[in-house]
Each structure stands twice: as C-alpha cells, then as structure tokens.
C-alpha cells in the first residue's frame, strides 16, 4: 500500500513540516481540513485513497464560526490505542476545550500502527465534528509535535513478561527522552504536556528535562483518574452523590504509593472525616480501594479501563482551561520546584492545584498536612527520587545504580 | 462470585422491578444514584462489593440541579459491547440529551456478560458525570426496559461461520421478538426505540410488531452512520468541509441496497450535482463508497468502527430532541405507513425526516425522486419485503418460504 506525501506549504506548519518531511521521507501526513488555503493548495500530490490535503472551508456558515477562537493544535501519542480511541472523540466533540474552540489533531503512532491510525482518522472524519478542523497522522514525533499547543502523551510500551518496574522505567524512559527532545524542537514554546503512559511521573520528568525550551511547570503526569476514583470511593462510603465531594487531593506518585488525601477532602462542604467517622477505613482501606480500582475493574471487564482513563484526561485538560471553583482543587503531577509542602525539588509530584482557566495553575498552599499524611507523602517522594536515579542517564544527571531492581512492584494494577 | 439482590422499593421502578425480580431471582440491579430516597432506603440488602442501592443526593449544590428537567430513563442493550462502550459515556456526558437533562441508564447484557456489565457501571461511576443519576444492570429485558423513555437496541448476535443473512435474520429476529414483547410490557407508553443490531430494519420491524402498545412511528432503524459517511464522501469529492453538506438522505434498507440520495443533497446550499459535475461518479462510485466504508475501515483499523457508530447513534437521538434546521433533514429507518413516496406500507424504511425536537418526527414530503432514485428505492424496498417474509412467523403474519436463502449477501461490510 502507498502512503501519500503531503506538502503543507499553505499552512502555518510549512517550515517545520518541510524540515521534518525531508528528515523522514516516508512520513504520512493527512489533513482532514487545513485552514482555508488558496485554491491551488487543494491540488494534492500523491493523494492516497480518500485522503486529501484540505477542504475548502469557504462555503461554511459564518454564523457557526464567527465567534470561534483560533484553532489549537493538539498532538496525541499512542493515537491508535484504546485510551485514545475514546479521548480523540471527546476532544473533537468540543466537550473538553469548549464549543467555540476549533481543534487540529496531530496523531502519533508507530510504524506498525500506521494503518490503524488511518482508520482512526477515517472514523473521526465520518463523525463530522464541526470543531475538528484538521487531522494529521505520522510516526515522527518531530513532525507530529509541530507547533503543538498541547501534547497528550498516551503512548508507552506495555510491560513484557517477566519485566519489572525498573525495566519499564528504562524502556519507556528512552521513548520519553526522544519525545521530550522532539517537543523541545517542534512544539509551541508554551506547549502544555500531559503524560499518561506509565510510569507517568518519571516519564514526564524525562520529557521535561529533555525539553529545556518549554517551561518546566507545563509538564503534567496524570493523577486525575486516581482523584476521580477517590471521589467515587468517598461517595460510595458516605452514601452521598459524587458531585458533593471536593478538595480531593492525590499526593505523590501515580503508583500504589500514591496518597489519596482524606484529611483535606470535603463532603457536602464538611470535612470528610466528620461525615465518615471511621479512621480505620480511611487509614487502611481507602488508599488500597483507590489504588487497586483498576485491577478490580480489569477483573470484571476483562480489559483495562480505557474509557474512564480518557474521561480523566479530558477532566485534567478541562481543569486547566476553566477556572477552578473557589476553595476546590484538582490533582495533577507537576514539577515540585519551590512547592509549599517541603517536597524536594526536581520531581514530578502530584499536588492539589487550582487554575484561573488560562492553561496555567498554581499549587494550593492551604492544605493541612498532618503526621499521617506527611509520612505517606514522604514514602511516595522517596519512591520518585529512586525512579529518578534509575533514569539519571536519560536526564543528563550524574547517577548511581538503580535501587529499584528487585523492589516491590508498585505499578497501579490494571495498567502496564 | 456473588451478585447482589436489590430491592428498588423506594424508586419509581418499584412495582415493575419487584415483579421482574420475582420472575428472575438472580437479577442484578445496581443503582449508582437513585432520586433522593428516604434515609432508610440507603440500607441495602446484600450489597455487593462497591455496589450500593443509592446515594443520598440531598447534599448536592442546588444551583447545579435547579434548572434540570425530570430524569429520563434510557435502556441500552448490548451494553458491554464496543459500541456501547463509547455510546454510554456520550449519553452520560450530557452531549446527547442536553446539559439540563439528567439520565438513568438501564443496561442489558447476557448472562455471560454480567461481570463485564458491572465493569462498565464501575467505569461510569468513576467518571463522575453530574447528569448520570442512576445506573442499573441486568439480563432480563422485562426488567431493564422498565419505564424506559428510550430503548437503544445495540445488541445482536454476530453472524457465525458459514451463516448467511437469512440465518442472521432468523437468529436475531427471535431476540427482537422477545425484546419487542418486553418493551410492550415494561417500557414507557411513548418509548422511542432505536435499533442498531443488524439486520436493523427488519429487527426494528419485529420489535415494533411485537409491541402494539407503543406507537409504530416510535421505532427507528439506524441509517445515520450511512448518512454521516455519505456526507463525508461528498465532502471529500467536492473539497468542501463536511459541515456544508445538507439534505443528505439515505433511502431504504441499512444494507448494500441502501440509496444515498445525491439528487437532493446540497453542498453549501447548492445542489450537489451542480458542485460535483460527475454523474458517472454519483451513479457508480458514490453508493459503494458509502456502503463499503465500514469494510474499508475494518481493513485499516483491524476492528469494526464502534466509535463512529456510537457517534451516529448520538446524532440520531440528537436529531429527535433538537429542531431540524429549516430545509434540512436527517435519515432514519421508520415505518413506511402512509409515506408520501409510494413505498409500500408495513416496512421499516429509511426516509429523509425532520423534527421539532420533541422526540417525534415527520417524513419530509418535498424530496424529488427521479427515475434513477425510484429504481434504486424500489430495489431496496423489494429486499425489505423479502426480509419481512423471512420473519413472517415472528410478526404474526401468514408467510411463505424465505426467498433470501442463497441470495447475494447485502450485509454492510464491517458489520455482523
């Protein structure tokens, strides 16, 4: 089968795309709709099957598009996988970035998944989402991350048989080193990066350290699924509907050392500990219920929880592009530099955060950390420090041996 | 493993649920959130694991719920399958029925898929959708369809090796006979039914004929995916963005005899035939491109197009609950009784329709049917008549032999 070679000479990506194309001649680029190019641009060289360079958008109803914002470019890795198969449709629907926010999707897959990527693009096309203005697919991160305003890094290699977490750190760390460098060269200088592929905190750290041109605070590791699951468990335990739970912080690593914070959580505006008067449950059962939820689910469902993971990625983005309710927070793994809780600098660590809705955030500084919480947070911090040492060679750091070899497996069950 | 036996004695489903529970004692019912019951109702007998009868919704922020409509009950069959795994999250998000429309999901699965259904319910729960007020799961259609305002009939048995379409008609016809009877007994008297499981037109006919208590015009067979794919193909061919395509009717059966109507289609408000001046393409290539799209997709993607199918079900619902734009139409398979185009009565046939957004619709009466279209429509009509004769024993009709045995397979590729 033949892939088309596209010249995006009439789009904003022109310079970068041409550079990347010359580097990787077998590149696949597929544009569902490019921003209204001159008529000549619709002459596509070597168009493959149903693929074309662009649509002429001039016939569109201006009453629809007049109030729209400038199109944002969202790069997604692991784009042919199960999580993306939910997430991409949520993004295209306008549910995440808003009904006035047109979007271009730039999808990264592997050589092996090229055809699957085309299938995903065809399904997106058949879905006729008005806000979806362009879909491009490719296998070169330097090209796919071109001018990206957001990079949603879903892809990671699954753990093979007999591999331990230390091996996974190494294997996926190398991928995130390459992708971090590609972000550094190609993405928007203010690109927001959300890492989902595991081990996501340390993968985010590696990407960040390899992308010095992008602000360190723009890198996130997804702990929102943990937050959502924690809210659900508090709802189940208290008999209150889940919308009544607030200030549900996840601290630390997205692993079984994560710390769902019952101390600061609220139920119907009251301290959770005033509603659920069962400290034994909070201290012994709550954290495992959250951390092992994915494993419980995979036993029922027979496959990993792609849909709710995608929902949590959508939630994580929405929390950055809409203002946080007064007094509330959301959880995300971000760089610990200068945090108000004494966690050592230089780790991607989950904190309670709030946002003005401008894509930026700040770490909430008014959470009470009691002794129980302090000890749990320290244990997760120690784990992240060890993970960092295991990948020191990938982040330009002098490092010793990886002390996680043979350690207990703290990977969240139900994930790779 | 143990399933919980639930008494829904404090919900509106009480009478029906109790009756159904006594009929099928091993019934699984799981309520994520029931409408604020008295405090005693939270005492759940035999609660299974994380499952509980209900949440107390009294602590919710009234500013959120004050303007909400009355909760609607949406029953979904094949609820643990791939299409539902997309559709349920779209329904729960508020994207389909509206942001002020709370929803109860009533999920039907098979004995074999019971645990998978629980997994789906757990993922819905973890997704914290404010509008999702209740999730119940079960294997008895009489129970699951209880008081349903909508029934989305996704489930059908896939075709086994060596089976032809006539066998599939028989096998799935029996399922839709049972489910039609269950709708007749349990569902809301004005329940809207959308059949997705194939062969969907004749399945819808069987369900309708077995549910005399529900208006015949409330039964739909999904041809919206065909409409969406046809719009995409016109966009690709014309180089116009897909939002500029209107009046794209699909006539007839959801099979390869379907008739995507280029005669009445508009591109940017102009006749499609004025924009794409290529009658050979319209007559020879357009219909196969639409009808064979699912097959092309399955070759790329390696699995059937669950996501875009779910999107088209969401579109089909949205077309009934929001007013149709003036002059436009949507396609849906509905009862042909008294239609303005001379199609014989008593078939579920896809027509261009419009709606005031009240859940009802009318067949558009101003479509031009030229000779080419007339002949194509007749061929699809003949096929539907033959399908009807093959299932005559399932709809209480005197019937002869099934003349479709050994006939050409007209099942849309990529589907069962």
Over the stretch B15-67, which tens digit does the pLDDT of each residue have? 333 333 333 333 333 444 433 333 333 433 332 323 354 444 555 567 777 88
Higher pLDDT, B229 or B396: B229
Radius of gyration of chain B (CA): 22
Contact B127 A311 (CB under 8 A): yes
Query: What pLDDT, on the 0 to 100 scale, is given for residue B416?
Result: 55
A210-228 pLDDT tens trace = 999 999 999 999 999 999 9
Query: What pLDDT, on the 0 to 100 scale, is given for residue B64?
Result: 72
Handedness of CA A61, A67, A72, A76 (dihedral sign): negative
Say which of B56, B244, B297 has its CB closest to residue A239: B56
Q: Taking CB atoms and an 8 Å cutoff, what residues of chain A touch B119?
A: 297, 300-302, 305
Contact B126 A308 (CB under 8 A): yes
CA angle at A97 for the pair A94 and A99, rounded to the nearest 5°: 40
Pairwise CA distance, residues B237 & B276, whole Å: 7
Contact B241 A127 (CB under 8 A): no
Helix (H, G, I), strand (E, B) or coil at A209: helix
Pairwise CA distance, residues A92 & A97, whole Å: 9
Select from A126, A129, A276 the residue whose CB has the most chain B CBs within 10 Å, as the one to mutate to test that interface: A126
From the list A75, A70, A68, A219, the residue with the least C-alpha distance to A149 is A75
B386-400 pLDDT tens trace = 999 999 999 988 766
Name the pTM for this structure.
0.89
Select from B243, B314, B414 the residue whose CB has the most chain A CBs within 10 Å, as the one to mutate to test that interface: B243
CATH numbers and ranges of domains, chain A: 26-36+67-221 (3.40.50.720), 224-394 (3.90.110.10)
| Minimal C-alpha gap between A217 and chain B (Å) | 26
Check pLDDT > 50 for residue A170. yes
Q: Taking CB atoms and an 8 Å cutoff, what residues of chain B touch A56?
A: 239-241
Query: What pLDDT, on the 0 to 100 scale, is given for residue B303?
Result: 82
| Minimal C-alpha gap between B149 and chain A (Å) | 24
Average pLDDT score over residue span B70-91: 96
Could you tell me if A202 and A211 are in contact, meaning their C-beta atoms sit under 8 angstroms apart? no
- Is A220 a catalytic site residue? no
Q: Would the ipTM clear 0.90, i.e. be above it?
A: no
Closest-approach residue (CA) in chain A for B89: A307
Check pLDDT > 60 for residue B285. yes
Which of A86, A220, A254, A393 is flagged as catalytic?
Answer: A254
Say which of A50, A64, A300 has its CB closest to residue B122: A300
Check pLDDT > 50 for residue A330. yes
Query: What pLDDT, on the 0 to 100 scale, is given for residue B406?
Result: 85
Contact B123 A50 (CB under 8 A): no
């Amino acid at each position: 089968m033949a892939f088309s070679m596209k010249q995006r000479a009439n789009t904003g990506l022109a310079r970068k795309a041409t550079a990347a194309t010359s580097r990787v001649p077998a590149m696949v680029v597929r544009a569902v709709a490019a921003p209204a190019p001159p008529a000549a641009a619709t002459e596509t060289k070597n168009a493959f099957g149903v693929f074309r360079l662009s649509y002429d958008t001039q016939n569109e109803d201006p009453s629809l598009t007049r109030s729209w914002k400038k199109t944002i470019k969202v790069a997604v890795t692991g784009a042919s996988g199960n999580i993306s198969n939910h997430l991409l449709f949520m993004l295209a629907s306008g549910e995440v970035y808003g009904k006035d926010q047109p979007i271009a999707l730039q999808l990264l897959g592997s050589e092996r998944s090229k055809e699957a990527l085309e299938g995903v693009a065809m399904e997106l096309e058949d879905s006729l989402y008005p806000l979806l203005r362009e879909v491009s697919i490719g296998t070169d991160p330097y090209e796919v991350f071109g001018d990206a305003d957001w990079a949603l890094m879903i892809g990671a290699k699954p753990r093979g048989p007999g591999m331990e977490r230390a091996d996974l750190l190494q294997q996926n760390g190398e991928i995130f080193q390459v992708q971090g460098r590609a972000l550094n060269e190609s993405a928007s200088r203010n690109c927001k990066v959300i890492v989902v592929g595991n081990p996501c905190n340390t993968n985010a750290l590696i990407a960040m350290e390899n992308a010095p041109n992008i602000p360190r605070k723009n890198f996130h590791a997804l702990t929102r699924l943990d937050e959502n699951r924690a809210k659900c468990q508090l709802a189940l335990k208290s008999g209150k509907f889940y919308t009544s739970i607030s200030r549900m912080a996840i601290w630390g690593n997205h692993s079984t050392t994560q710390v769902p914070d019952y101390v600061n959580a609220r139920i119907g505006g009251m301290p959770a500990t005033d509603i659920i008067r069962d400290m034994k449950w909070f201290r012994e059962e709550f954290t495992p219920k959250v951390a092992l939820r994915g494993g419980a689910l995979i036993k029922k469902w027979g496959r990993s929880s792609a849909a709710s993971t995608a929902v949590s990625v959508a939630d994580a983005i929405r929390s950055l592009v809409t203002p946080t309710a007064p007094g509330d927070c959301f959880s995300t793994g971000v760089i610990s530099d200068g945090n108000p809780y004494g966690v050592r600098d230089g780790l991607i660590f989950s904190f309670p955060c709030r946002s003005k809705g401008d894509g930026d955030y700040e770490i909430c500084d008014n959470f009470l950390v009691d002794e129980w919480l302090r000890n749990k947070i320290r244990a997760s911090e120690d784990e992240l420090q060890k993970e960092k040492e295991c990948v020191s060679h990938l982040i330009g750091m002098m490092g010793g041996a990886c002390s996680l070899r043979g350690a207990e497996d703290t990977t969240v069950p139900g994930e790779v």
